[in-house]
Structure 1
Amino acid sequence: MGTTDTVSGDGHDTGPSGPRTSDGGSRPPVSTVVVVAAVLIPLVLLAVVLVLVRDVSDEAAESAANEPVTAVTIPAPGAGSEECLSLVESLPDALGDANRVALVEPAPPGAAAYRMPDAETVVVRCGLPAPPTFTVGVSLQEVNGVQWFNEADPDPAVTSSTWVAVDRPQYVAVTLPATAGTGPIQDLSDALSAGLDAVEPRPAPIG
């Protein structure tokens, strides 16, 4: 006696199953394009915002790095000399990473100003009197053929440094921020060597 296969239910084919809505209808599948767009659009908008913020920040930094420098007037008896007028006129457009900028008027005679990329200032002055601490026996540092004297600031909180070229017909000083490195002095030494004859340093006697 053979066996008979039986089929449960009423025997009707109900078709493929799928998601149904609350009223019993099928929910249409979500398009892959829609899903990708939902992910990518916020990312694109975020990237645009970041680029705009970076551009604004770069513009602000560039603007600050080109701002004129206010330099106080200090005694400079030789600032109007031919040597100083020639030197200031022939100074390069950049000293190390610092680019030359204008001085706020009225500008002190014999001076030139530069700004670092972070807007810190580099100020060159020609025709100053001899540094009061430049006496016999002090240590000098030679850079590209120019002898420099480091005049320490009496205020320990001051992080900038002032270097004075002491072997030219006029004393030339450059004040540097701590982040400037040696580039400005090297380039200024080249300008001094090209523009002013060397002379023997004249330190004051001790006492």
Structure 2
Amino acid sequence: MSSLPLGAIAANLQRERARVGWSMTELARRAGVAKSTLSQLEAASGNPSLETLWALATALGVSFAQLVGSQSTDVTVIRAGEGPRAATELGGYVATLLSASPPGARRDLYLIDAERESPRRADPHPAGTIEHVVLCSGRALVGPTDDPVTLEPGDFITYAGDAPHVFEALESGTRAVLISEQR
């Protein structure tokens, strides 16, 4: 189901790894992923999970979108069901990148599709990350792991993304817009 731009991911990983001066072995160690997985990604192959990409982004100190996005100044239209999508390893949670933050800007925009019984428990993102969520349909438990809030369609929440947090669909077909802001 992945429609991730593997070529862009490969180029972005190589660029960011070179920026910090790490070997593949060092980045794999810091991200807690297998070196073979990283090697596949830098060769533009494989099918990375959302967890793997987040771990790599966090280790490199960049946003998820900086790894999966390509920069464009043209008009961009992403039709429903299209766009670079990353799913969790166990399924039931898919993040579609709608807009990657260009250099100098500090926000990324995602469309989240989540199913019941597939909670997304996220490890802390880079320091200063704030997440904003608007629930479009369904119901969800969202926010800090130790104090999540039940959202109904149209509800909005903001919380620290640099602390453990959760997005758990309480109904099938739950959909939200998530904005990840790096301060």
The answer to whether TM tops 0.5 is no
Higher radius of gyration, 1 or 2: 1
TM-score normalised to the size of structure 1? 0.24
Which has a greater percent of strand? 2
TM-score normalised to the size of structure 2? 0.26
